[in-house]
Structure 1
Amino acid sequence: MRNPRSTREQGAALVTVLFLMLAVLMMSASSTRASLAAVKSARYERDRHIAHQSAEVALFDAERDIAGAAGPASPRTAIFVAANASAFVAGCTGTGEHTGLCRLVSTPGVPAWQALDLAGPLSVEYGRFTGATLPTGAGLLPSRPPRYIVELLEHPGADPVYRITAIGFGASDAARVVLQSYYRRANATAPAKRLGWREVANWPELHAATL
């Protein structure tokens, strides 16, 4: 005959083992989820860093564009030398040497950098007017070249200041960073100078609100 007490003890031991196995399984699943989240977060930060560097490179390219990298005889350079406001087109719809030159929109209107799809064809692709090149599309490189637009700010009685807005891309095209700088071209009395810059972290939301 089986001892009822022994049977109960065996049943209790089995239940205990099952609970322990369930606890280990839950801990393993939680650890796996945490590891996957960490990998995803690290990949996002890596892509964002690449996009940020790409946008910064685009700001420098735009500054070289404004400084006359297209050449002293270029119509593009002549626009910046004369600070020709008429060359900056409403809606950033200019072509040729007017590509990416956006007319300033007075407050309370929506500024060009907010309304325009910076990743679209109306902005200037990196290197178009400067001849610079940037490796893209493989490994830890940007998925595609960054782009930028330029606005001529109002400058009564002062040296002209240009607002540059650039978008950079990560290894994934979905990773995007928008940077904006203010740049004064060199003149007879002062060297070229970046007057300030910022990241427009909420640009996707600002742009979506204009659609």
Structure 2
Amino acid sequence: MQYPSTKERGVVLAFCLVLLLVTTLLGVAAMSTTALEESMTQNERDQHTAFQAAEAALREGERYVKSQATSPTIFPGSFSKTCANGLCFSRENTPNYDKTKSPCETGGISDRWDMWSCPTSHSGNLAVWTNAKRHRSHANTSLTNSKGITTLPKYIIEFMGYQDITRDELYRITSFATGGTDDAKVMLQSTYHLSF
């Protein structure tokens, strides 16, 4: 009867431990990949939700312009340089606008919708998205419950002026929305041309 060599003792145990370690590492890698994919999917869904909310606010702004502008020069009288109730003169139509100055320079005026270029403390930045008196919120308050949106989408309407020959009115509507978290932000714009 032959006995196994003493050199071979424990080799199977060492092999099994290495195999167990490799299997564990593969399992952990698969779980972290799945968690990353799930996070990416949630972020994409969040961005899509924010886009849909901004689109809804943009369309509501267009409907508002169409319903208010019943005859020439009536609706433009509702606009102000301080964006009261979300109705603004565009930067170019603001009294004392100096186009030679940059928006963040002293005396400069940033675009009404622009919340990133100049600090909110700058006098030319009206902070329309953070000041409830300077924007309009989407009328459908159930959006926050039914669609998973954290904050109602907002919009402003800027009077851009009159077209040269026809005197048709031009408006720029800008909407801003977040998704299920405030990290997903979407801003959309449309130019609305109104003929009488």
TM-score (ref. length: structure 2): 0.73
The match for 2:153 is: 146
The match for 2:88 is: 102
Structure 2 counterpart of 1:90, from 61, 75, 81: 81
Structure 1 counterpart of 2:143, from 133, 136, 141: 136
Whole-angstrom CA distance in 2 between matches of 1:177 and 1:170: 8
Q: Secondary structure at the match of 1:153?
A: strand
Tell me, yes or no, if structure 1 residue 166 matches structure 2 residue 175.
yes
* C-alpha distance 11-81 of structure 1, shift in aligned 2 (>3 A): farther
Whole-angstrom CA distance in 1 between matches of 2:52 and 2:82: 27
Structure 2 counterpart of 1:181, from 174, 190, 193: 190
Q: Is the 8 A contact 1:161 1:184 kept in 2?
A: yes
Tell me, yes or no, if structure 1 residue 51 matches structure 2 residue 50.
yes
* C-alpha distance 120-23 of structure 1, shift in aligned 2 (>3 A): farther
Tell me, yes or no, if structure 1 residue 118 matches structure 2 residue 109.
no
Whole-angstrom CA distance in 1 between matches of 2:65 and 2:128: 21
Whole-angstrom CA distance in 1 between matches of 2:64 and 2:43: 31
* C-alpha distance 52-145 of structure 1, shift in aligned 2 (>3 A): same
Cα-Cα RMSD: 2.6
Q: May I ask how many residue pairs the two structures share in their alignment?
A: 166
Whole-angstrom CA distance in 2 between matches of 1:9 and 1:139: 67
Whole-angstrom CA distance in 1 between matches of 2:39 and 2:146: 17
Amino acid at match of 2:179: G
The match for 2:25 is: 26
Q: Is the 8 A contact 1:166 1:180 kept in 2?
A: yes
Whole-angstrom CA distance in 1 between matches of 2:131 and 2:13: 65
* C-alpha distance 140-61 of structure 1, shift in aligned 2 (>3 A): closer
Between the two structures, name the one with larger relative contact order (CA 8 Å, sep ≥ 6): 2
Whole-angstrom CA distance in 2 between matches of 1:145 and 1:80: 31
Whole-angstrom CA distance in 2 between matches of 1:19 and 1:117: 62
* C-alpha distance 53-166 of structure 1, shift in aligned 2 (>3 A): same
Whole-angstrom CA distance in 1 between matches of 2:170 and 2:35: 47
Tell me the alpha carbon deviations over residues 153-196 of structure 1, each in whole angstroms, 9 at most, x when there is no partner.
143524221111101221233322111111112x33xxxxxxxx
Q: Is the 8 A contact 1:149 1:165 kept in 2?
A: yes
Q: Is the 8 A contact 1:83 1:160 kept in 2?
A: no
* C-alpha distance 66-87 of structure 1, shift in aligned 2 (>3 A): same
Whole-angstrom CA distance in 1 between matches of 2:9 and 2:111: 76
> Could you tell me how far 1:82 is from its partner in structure 2?
1.3
Whole-angstrom CA distance in 1 between matches of 2:163 and 2:184: 39
* C-alpha distance 84-135 of structure 1, shift in aligned 2 (>3 A): closer
Q: Secondary structure at the match of 1:174?
A: coil
